[in-house]
Amino acid sequence: MGKLDGKIAIVTGSSRSIGKAIAIAFAAEGAKLVLAARGVEGLNATAKEIKALGREVEVIPTDVKVEAEIDNLFKKTMARFGRLDILVNNSGVFHAAPIDKVPTEDWDNVIATNLRAPFLCTRAAFTIMKAQGGGRIINIGSISAQRVRFGNVAYSSAKFGLVGLTHTTALEGREFNITCGILHPGNTERDIRPPEGTGWTAEPYLAQEEIASAAVFMASQPPEVNVLEVISLHKDQLYLGRG
């Protein structure tokens, strides 16, 4: 038996990188997946790996910055599976620049993707989970929500906000058996790395599968257990005392 047998899970940003790894790890533990992202080709590639595991999967191309597309995502999920047990808010973008060099449109894009979209998805999931008697929401944060660094203002601001969204969701969800936690990855291998010259490329990185295993741990707890925050990073990464 898998740790997530029969669970229905939506994973946003599941066309590549951490989101893809989480979706595949959930499927390996028995979950049925709904994959959401803008990249159709990547979504189909993830779905192919999940089908190879013998799991059901639904691909729903979604731009999480568009409210109507999020509404469509949850509507189609309910039409296909009739319930939602787990939501993973993973979609995210990054823009590196000093505060005085950040274009407003880049700020807006980061906030819309990394904070507004998780709120919209959480609101939709909360409504479903409240009616069905419970569920679990996992937000993918960042250690940038706790230890800021130069040239990271939009990303850190969004991830700090995501912590607030997580805690508020956990508080308001208690009476409805809805749990909410946040997973903070340190540097993790991704399809796109920060640009050369930022100093990040010289730091150690975790494999995507190691972050996915932490997400499985959070998702597979008994319904009365909420794992509020997890920090997962390479033991040699600069974190404590960094700036």
11-69: pLDDT as tens digits: 999 999 999 999 999 999 999 999 999 999 999 999 999 999 999 999 999 999 999 99
Q: Which tokens is 236 given?
A: 């040699």
CA 26/CA 200 separation, integer angstroms: 29
Domain total of the chain: 1
Strand, coil or helix: what is 21?
helix
Whether the Cβ atoms of residue 145 and residue 184 lie closer than 8 Å to each other: yes
Q: Which tokens is 125 given?
A: 């999931």
- Closest among 63, 59, 89 to 76, alpha carbons compared: 59
Instruction: Return phi, psi of residue 204, to 5°.
Output: -70, 150
pLDDT per residue as tens digits for the range 78-91: 999 999 999 999 99
Please tell me the least confidently modeled range out of 115-124, 131-140, 177-186, 188-197. 188-197
For residue 88, the cross-strand partners are 11, 138
- Domain assignment present for residue 101? The answer is yes
CA 87/CA 33 separation, integer angstroms: 10
- Domain assignment present for residue 203? The answer is yes
Expressed as residue numbers, the domain containing 109 is 8-232
Find the catalytic residue in 155, 178, 186, 220.
155
The CATH number of whichever domain residue 32 belongs to comes to 3.40.50.720
> Is residue 155 among the annotated active site residues?
yes
Instruction: Tell how many helices (H) and how many strands (E) occur in the chain.
Output: 7, 7
- Domain assignment present for residue 3? The answer is no
